[in-house]
Amino acid sequence: MIFRLGDLAELVGARLYGDAATEVSRVDTLQDAVAGSISFLTNSKYQKYLKATSATAVILKDSFRQECPVNTLVCDNPHLAYARISAHMQPVPESQAGRHQTAWVSDSAVVDPTAWIGPGAVIEDEVNIGPEVHVGPGCVVATGVTIGAGSRLIANVTLCHGITLGERVLVHPGAVIGSDGFGLADDNGTWVKVPQLGSVSIGCDVEIGANTTIDRGALCDTIISDGVKLDNQIQIAHNVEVGENTAMAACTGIAGSTRIGKNSTIGGGVVVVGHLEFADNVHFSADTLVTRSFKEPGYYSGNLPAMPNREWRKTIAHTRHLDEMMQRLKELEKQVTTLMAKKGDEA
């Protein structure tokens, strides 16, 4: 499809410097772009590619505009503008309605006529599937599940019994939602399984990455609020609550009964122990080990465990000079020993 720069600028509220009638048909990186492409610059590390780009247009901040040799769409948040333009130029294909001949759907399931049930999918008893839902190949939707309008299960997704998905939820391949939480009681050295009687409640506009698992609650529900974005291979344990618009990167593990506030970010590989509570706007950098609650907004880092980011940076800086500091300390000890010996001789 072909798109005019003037229309794209209007779509994202950008200021266009160039020819509004110029057409583009694809998005690409600055360094790989060819004529007919629109690109973007959000990270100064890629500024070196700007002057030589072959893109037809670039989305960027005003501070970079004078360096750009081609048409520019100037805005305060180029990454956001790029995301919206990219989605506009390459929309998700519309899902067909109906069901594949190899799908199995229980007679007691309620499936909206506009929904699609793909090849090999299984829809069990008393499931409720809303309008324009897409259930991809190999998905299993267990008894009593509710899926809100416009949600998409890409492929091989498992929704265990009784869970609820809101509207416009996107679940990537291999995700498992509603599996039993890791609840065990110690009977003199033998582990006894604790029944997991809660469920999982997923809000609207949530995205769940490939092979991510979200466990059902032990008694109360595990809750993933509206707008949450989860990357691939994340583990969320039973009774965790994740606040609105929080985002987590890959390989993060959240232990049971932890409460995470709104508008927070959790970097890749973060480990959070159980029964903690975080305020809104709490941010952890990658590989942070979190062993205590954080009641104040802020940016936290480290595996020592976590501490305020500024304090962590100082600690790491000091750690890098430990060998030098040890040598200086030994020299000081020698000097002190020499001085003490002289005082002893003088006495």
**Active centre residues (catalytic):** 238
Element (H, E) at 85: helix 78-89
Closest C-alpha to 47, from 70, 67, 66: 67
Element (H, E) at 40: strand 37-40
* Long-range pairs, 154-160, Cβ under 8 A, ≥24: 155/118, 160/200, 160/216
Among left, alpha and beta (phi > 0; psi -120 to 50; other), residue 18 is: left
* Distance separating alpha carbons of residues 30 and 45, to the nearest angstrom: 12
> Radius of gyration (Cα) for the chain, nearest Å?
27
Cβ 6 vs Cβ 20: under 8 Å: yes
DSSP-derived secondary structure for 251-309: T-EE-TT-EE-TT-EE-TT-EE-SS-BB-TTEEE-TT-EE-S-B-S-EEEE-SSS-EEH
| Tokens, residue 122 | 């299984």
